[in-house]
Structure 1
Amino acid sequence: MGDSALNRMTALVRQDIRLLLRDPAPLLIRTVMPLVIMGFMQPLFRAALQAGGAGTDVNGAEQGVPGMAVMFLFFMMNVVGFAMFREHGWNTWDRLRAGTARPVELLAARLVVLLAAAVLQLTVIFVAGGLLFGLRVSGSWLALVVVALPLALSVVMLGMALVVLCRTISQLSVVANILALVFAGLGGALTPQSAMPDWAVPFAPFAPSHWAMRGFNEAILHGGGVPDVLLPAGVLCLFAAGLAAVTLVFFRAEDRKLSWS
C-alpha cells in the first residue's frame, strides 16, 4: 500500500478518533455495566463454578469477569453499525466516495478505531475484575491476550457483516442484540459451560463466544498457557476471516443505508 493510501486512511482514522472522544458514553457504558452486573452476580457465579467441580477456592470472578466481558463485547456490534450508518444519516458517505479513498480503504480505516475500542474495553474489564473482584488467573495472562485479540476482531467483523447485510440501523440493532444474547447463552458467558442445558451443547461450537470462553477458562481456571489456547484463538481467527469474506463479497459502496426504520 502506497503512501497516498496510508495518508488517506490515517485521515479517516483521525476523524473516527475525534468522533469517539466527542461521545465516549457508549464505550463507557459497555465497560462499566459488566462490572456493575458482576457485583450482583458474583455469589451466583461462585456457586455455579463450585457445583461444576471447579473447587471451593473459586470466588465467582473466574466466570463472571470473562463472561460479562464477552457478553458486553458482542453488544459492540451496534456501535460498529452506527459508525457506518451515521455517514449515510449525515449525508457524508457520498462525499467520502467522491474522494480519493478507495472503498476498501474506507472499510479498513473504520476498523482501526473500532478494533482498538474493543481491545480497550476487554482490557479495562479484566484489569478492573482483578482489582475489584479478586480475579485470579492461574495460567498465563499472555494467553488471555492471545484469545482476546481475535475475539475483538471477530466481533468487529460480525458488526461489519451486519452493516452490509442490513439496510437500516433498526434492522441491524435488532439482529445485533439478539445475536449478542444468543451468543452469551451458547458461549457459556451466562453460566459455566459445564452447566449448560443439554439441548444447547450441540450448537455451542457455532458461536464465537464459545471459543472465547473456552480459551479464557483454560487460562483462568486450568492454568493454561499460550499453547493451550491456540485452538480457540485459531477458531476465532477463522470466524473473523469468514466474516471479512462476507463483508467484502456483499459490500457495495453505492448501496444506500438508512439511519431510520
Structure 2
Amino acid sequence: MPRPESAGRVRALVRHNTTLLLREPGPLASRMILPLVFVTLLRPLYEAAQGAREGTTQAVTGTLVTFSLLALSIAGGSVLSERVGHTWERLRTTAAHPLELLTGKAVPVLGAMLAQQVVVVGFGVLVLGMPLGHPGLLALVLLAWTGTLLALGTMAGVLVRSQGELSAAYDIGGMLLSSLGGALVPLASMPGWVRHLAPASPGYWAVSALHAALGGDAGRTAVCCAALGAFACAAGTAAAIRVGRGWGRSATL
C-alpha cells in the first residue's frame, strides 16, 4: 500500500503533467481528427474488397491501430521534454522514486490515448454503423492496447536522445508495426513471410484482439490481451530500468 506522502507526490505530478498536456493540445487533437478523415476516405475501398460489414470493421480497426501507434509521440514526448529541458533533477525533489515519476507521467497520457481510441470507435459505431455487439470485450481490448502503447512510448522517450530520433521512432516504427500487424492490409492478402513475422508486432495482437472482441470471441480476446500485456511488461520494465540507472546521475539520463 503506497505511503500517504508518496500518493501525494504522485497526485501532484499527475496534475502537473495533465496541465502540460492540455497546454499544448495540438498533437493530441491531430491524433484524434486525422484518423476520422483517414477512415472515412478508406472505408469505400475496404467495403469494395470485403463487403460492407467486414470492410467497415477493417477500416475502423486498422485506422485505430495505425494512428494509436503514431500517438506514441504523446507518451514519448512527455518524457523526452523533461530530459531535453533538464528538469529531471528538479523533479527528483518531488518524486523520490522513478516509479512515482513514471506514474505521474503515465496517468494523463493514458487518458489521452484512451480518449483517442474511444473517439475512433465511437465514430465507427455512431457514424459508419460498425456493429458493436460486445462492448465489454472491446473495452478490455482498448485498455490492454492503451497500456501497451503507453509502455512502448515511455520506453522510446527514455531511450532516444532527441526529438528527431523520437520522430523517427514513432513514424517509422509505428507504420512498420501497424503494417506488419495487418492494420492497413489484411494479412491474408500479404506474402507468406509477412504472415510469419506478424506475431512479433504488437499491432498484430491489437488488430486480432479488436476483431475477436467485435466478433464475441472471448477466448481469442483473452489470448491477444495476454500477448499485449507481455509487450507492455517488457517495454515498461526496460523503461524503468533505464530511468533507474540514470536516476541521480544525469538530468538527461
Alpha-carbon distance between aligned partners in 2 of 1:81 and 1:140, rounded to the nearest angstrom? 32
Alpha-carbon distance between aligned partners in 1 of 2:69 and 2:251, rounded to the nearest angstrom? 25
Deviation digits for residues 50-79 of structure 1 (CA, Å, limit 9, x no counterpart)? 4xxxxxx52622101111111111112111
Letter in 1 for 2:203: S
Map 1:1-261 onto structure 2 (within 5 A). Answer: 1-50=2-51, 57-58=52-53, 60-137=55-132, 139-220=133-214, 223-251=215-243, 252-253=246-247, 254-257=249-252
Q: CA 1:207–1:107 in 2, change beyond 3 Å: closer, same or farther?
A: same
Quick check: 1:183–1:209 contact (8 Å CA) kept in 2? yes
Q: CA 1:10–1:193 in 2, change beyond 3 Å: closer, same or farther?
A: same
Alpha-carbon distance between aligned partners in 2 of 1:149 and 1:226, rounded to the nearest angstrom? 15
Letter in 1 for 2:86: N
Q: CA 1:179–1:71 in 2, change beyond 3 Å: closer, same or farther?
A: same
Paired residues in the alignment total 249
Quick check: 1:69–1:122 contact (8 Å CA) kept in 2? yes
Give the structure with the higher percent helix.
2
**% same residue:** 32
Q: CA 1:227–1:39 in 2, change beyond 3 Å: closer, same or farther?
A: same
Quick check: 1:42–1:59 contact (8 Å CA) kept in 2? no
- Report the alpha carbon displacement of residue 148 of structure 1 after superposing the two structures with TM: 1.1
Partner of 1:53: none
Q: CA 1:189–1:91 in 2, change beyond 3 Å: closer, same or farther?
A: same
Gaps of 5+ in 1: 51-56
Alpha-carbon distance between aligned partners in 2 of 1:95 and 1:87, rounded to the nearest angstrom? 10
Q: Could you say what secondary structure the match of 1:125 adopts?
A: helix
Alpha-carbon distance between aligned partners in 1 of 2:235 and 2:102, rounded to the nearest angstrom? 13
Quick check: 1:48–1:192 contact (8 Å CA) kept in 2? no
- Report the alpha carbon displacement of residue 195 of structure 1 after superposing the two structures with TM: 1.8
Deviation digits for residues 110-138 of structure 1 (CA, Å, limit 9, x no counterpart)? 1111111111111111011112211113x
Quick check: 1:144–1:219 contact (8 Å CA) kept in 2? yes
- Give runs of ≥4 in structure 1 deviating > 6 Å: none
Q: Could you say what secondary structure the match of 1:136 adopts?
A: coil
Q: CA 1:166–1:194 in 2, change beyond 3 Å: closer, same or farther?
A: same
- Report the alpha carbon displacement of residue 199 of structure 1 after superposing the two structures with TM: 2.4
- Report the alpha carbon displacement of residue 256 of structure 1 after superposing the two structures with TM: 4.4
Alpha-carbon distance between aligned partners in 1 of 2:100 and 2:23, rounded to the nearest angstrom? 23
Letter in 1 for 2:74: V
Alpha-carbon distance between aligned partners in 1 of 2:29 and 2:94, rounded to the nearest angstrom? 33
Quick check: 1:49–1:192 contact (8 Å CA) kept in 2? no
Letter in 2 for 1:123: V
Alpha-carbon distance between aligned partners in 1 of 2:86 and 2:55, rounded to the nearest angstrom? 48
The normalised TM-score by structure 1 is 0.89
Quick check: 2:144–2:229 contact (8 Å CA) kept in 1? yes
* Superposed CA RMSD: 1.8
The normalised TM-score by structure 2 is 0.92
Gaps of 5+ in 2: none
